[in-house]
């Protein structure tokens, strides 16, 4: 087998691994944002946060969740 084919396969495998790592990090980010949103909406400590700041954080978390789901293909 030619070294050119082996190198190309190595690049494809490396690219696949990079994509897989990125997907895992995005999924972790999604879970953290969902947990944050749940805290802000349902936990008494989250509800005690100043209204304007809490509203901004809820909006940011919802946007981050939407972006992550789109990136992951609608998980």
**Domain edges within the chain:** 3-71
pLDDT tens profile 47-58: 999 999 999 999
- Report the pLDDT value the prediction gives residue 19, as an integer from 0 to 100: 80
Q: Is the CB of residue 23 less than 8 Å from the CB of residue 72?
A: yes
pTM of the model as a whole: 0.75
Using CA atoms, how far apart are residues 58 and 68, in angstroms rounded to an integer?
15
- pLDDT value at 29 more than 60: yes
Using CA atoms, how far apart are residues 57 and 61, in angstroms rounded to an integer?
6
With bands split at pLDDT 50, 70 and 90, how would you rate the model's confidence at 70? very high
Which DSSP state fits 49?
S
């Amino acid at each position: 087998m030619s070294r050119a084919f082996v190198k190309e396969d190595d690049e494809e495998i490396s690219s696949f691994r990079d994509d897989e790592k990125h997907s895992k990090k995005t999924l972790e980010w999604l879970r953290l944002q969902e947990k944050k949103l749940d805290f802000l909406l349902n936990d008494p400590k989250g509800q005690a946060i100043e209204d304007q700041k809490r509203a901004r954080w809820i909006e940011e978390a919802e946007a981050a969740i939407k972006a992550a789901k789109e990136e992951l293909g609608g998980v």
